[in-house]
Chain A
Amino acid sequence: MEKLWVLLLLTFVLAETFANPRGLITNLDNGELCLQSVQCKSRCCHKNSLLGLARCMDKAAENQECSRKHLYGFYYRCPCEGGLNCDASWTIGGVITNTDYGICRDPKDSNARKEKN
């Protein structure tokens, strides 16, 4: 069973490396191919699916879908812009599969809302 997982992971890694032409340089513009978020000016390397190609994309604005910042290097939903929190519910499965999505919120606004309640 373990071997199967390793094999599966290896095929994914290989598929990734061959399917992904490398974003050759750093400081990449939106729309350029990337492997790691640090390559992008926007600091978000975004892809639609696990085997899809990753491209640099703007960070999520308020009220848009987002993921928390993490070390995978790429995101299915970009993290939020400055000053915003990604209001995501935390699950172990979500963290492993990189699918902990939330909505970008201004922490000050949510504080105000809590005080009202």
Chain B
Amino acid sequence: MRCCVPAELKGKKKGAYLPSISPNFTPSAPLHELAAPSLSPPYSQENLLNQTCEIESPEEEKLDGTTFKDISVHKKVVGGLLAVIGRDEETPSRKEVCYEPLGCFTDDAPWSGTLLRPISKLPWSPEKLNTRFLLYTREHPDSFEEIKATSPATISQSNFNASKITRFITHGFIDKGEENWLSDMCKNMLQVEDVNCICVDWKRGARCPYTQASNNIRVIGAEVAYFIDVLMTKYGYSPSMVHLIGHSLGAHLFGEAGKRRPGIGRITGLDPAQPYFQGTPIEVRLDKSDASFVDVIHTDMLPTIPYLGFGMSDPVGHLDFFPNGGETMPGCSKNAVSQIVDIDGIWEGTRDFMACNHLRSYKYYSDSILYPDGFLGYQCSAYSEFESGDCFPCPSNGCPKMGHYADQFKDRVTFGFTKLYLNTGDARVFARWRYKVSVTLSGKSSVRGYINIALYGSGGNTKQYQIFHGKLKPAQSYTELIDVEIDVGTVNKVKFLWNNNIINPTLPRLGASNIIVEDGKDGKVYNFCGSETVREEVLQTLTAC
């Protein structure tokens, strides 16, 4: 995987991005403490207040390649803006860095020095990270307008409309905010709704060692929170109209933002990153306490070691969706050449080659915008139970929708975690509609072979789906759940086909006497009857009875 520190950041401009600070600034009260009541004892406000911002042995301290000396010189000049606090003899490594107006960031537990986060890194400065907010609107759908919280004039000059919902989208590790998937997601949204769609770009902070990137998101999360603060003060904008959509590390980034700016309407975590976050306390990672509604899509939840799964397996939101079980996605096990030489180009293919399962989460989300009921999540305790049909069909008040329309189920979230399962397609369009089909066979002879069923309805007809493969016995029923590629609507006929793939001299005939189709969406049951039998590879049409 590509990962490097941008060359221009390596040696140059040491200390140049040190922030200026107002005299009344207190580094001892980080903003996020206000929103996170359950902080661990060493991180409480009292402890920090007791600390004096003293600097010891500046020559020995190293801070992210920048010698500490530079900072201490600067610090003397500005007067205590950048505090590196040696806590005591046992934990001499504790450091803190402060950036006005965002607050202070320590490398103390739980941020570092724990079993789950062994390598300690301090986040980079906002200047070094160069976070950008790229606005797409219906007036400006094809190119972005860059807006800045630090100069609110850029917001008022842009097409930002304070009466509309604002959706922020951000990327993860190594990725960038100008990447096509972010703007494509905005374009999909602008097709169905009039919103302010803001892509948050932090590529400088994302293209560095993972341990650094996973700490950089703390500063960027604070910047997003600050951006929302500016919207609040400038436009009286309610944070409940803000929706944050983050992929991978970006999910935790928005978790941080939500923690610092309480009252955010919704956060969507698209396969939140696993290393450095899974199992950590809630102030480190995305959690359901970060917004009034948090929905998560898990697509790559196998352990990072040894399976290289990048996404979290723990449920962390109000609604947690596990499409295809959440571990391996269909269409992601192609051979290397086929994966890289993708229909959407070599770049898209290379991305999928590196992290196909992980990237599926935003593809599902993007599709869900255009197919509102193509991603129904069935509440179930495990994927195997979902597969065997134990959680079929949807309850009478409907299934939550994975992706864009998950917030329609906002009012029905329970105290615990809600695990939702569904299956998707293997390529775009990923939307699928689930049906349960039971076939009762008729005929005289029993043969080995398979049964195919195709559904015909007001919305069109599906391809043939295999219901069963094995010994076909007359009068026996075979039941299977299928995920079909179109919304059939009202089912008005069914076609049945069987085949055994070998030449059988007895010329057997089989038919379906009865087929029951159950729609997963509303539990509607359709009954179809047939009286004839057919030879293999001949379609039998069954009509309602």
**Chain A interfacial positions (CB closer than 8 Å to B):** 21-25, 28-33, 53, 55, 58-59, 61-63, 81-84, 106, 108-109
Chain A residues positioned under 8 Å from B497 (CB to CB):
82-83
Residue on B nearest A29 in the bound complex, by CB = B334
| Contact A108 B335, beta carbon cutoff 8 Å | no
| CB 8 Å contact bits of B500-543 with A (1 = contact, 0 = none) | 00000000000000000000000000000000000001110100
* B426, CB-defined interface residue at 8 Å: yes
| Contact A32 B452, beta carbon cutoff 8 Å | no
Assuming the contacts A31-B426, A82-B499, asked whether A61 and B464 have C-beta atoms less than 8 A apart, the reply is yes
Chain A residues positioned under 8 Å from B101 (CB to CB):
none
Chain B residues positioned under 8 Å from A59 (CB to CB):
463
Closest Cβ–Cβ distance, residue A105 to chain B (whole Å)? 10
Can you list 14 A-B contacts (CB < 8 A)? Answer: A21-B337, A29-B333, A31-B331, A31-B338, A31-B343, A31-B427, A62-B456, A62-B495, A81-B454, A82-B452, A82-B499, A82-B537, A83-B537, A108-B538
Residue on A nearest B340 in the bound complex, by CB = A21
* B49, CB-defined interface residue at 8 Å: no
Closest Cβ–Cβ distance, residue B18 to chain A (whole Å)? 51
* Contacting residue for B338 out of A23, A61, A63, A81, CB 8 A: A23
Q: Identify which of B335, B426, B427, B497 gathers the most chain A CB atoms within 10 Å of its CB.
A: B335
CB neighbors of A among B319-353 (8 A): 331, 333-335, 337-338, 341, 343
Assuming the contacts A58-B463, A63-B461, A82-B497, asked whether A24 and B335 have C-beta atoms less than 8 A apart, the reply is yes
B contacts with A, residue count (CB < 8 A): 25
* Contacting residue for B464 out of A23, A29, A33, A81, CB 8 A: A81
* Contacting residue for A30 out of B427, B456, B495, CB 8 A: B427
| Contact A106 B541, beta carbon cutoff 8 Å | yes
| Contact B337 A62, beta carbon cutoff 8 Å | no
| Contact B334 A31, beta carbon cutoff 8 Å | yes
| Contact B538 A109, beta carbon cutoff 8 Å | no
* B67, CB-defined interface residue at 8 Å: no
Give Cα A53–Cα B456 distance, bound, in whole angstroms.
Answer: 32
Give Cα A53–Cα B349 distance, bound, in whole angstroms.
Answer: 14
Closest Cβ–Cβ distance, residue B366 to chain A (whole Å)? 18
| Contact A63 B460, beta carbon cutoff 8 Å | yes
| Contact A108 B541, beta carbon cutoff 8 Å | yes
Residue on A nearest B460 in the bound complex, by CB = A63
Give Cα A82–Cα B537 distance, bound, in whole angstroms.
Answer: 6
Give Cα A53–Cα B426 distance, bound, in whole angstroms.
Answer: 19
| Contact A24 B337, beta carbon cutoff 8 Å | yes
Chain B residues positioned under 8 Å from A53 (CB to CB):
341
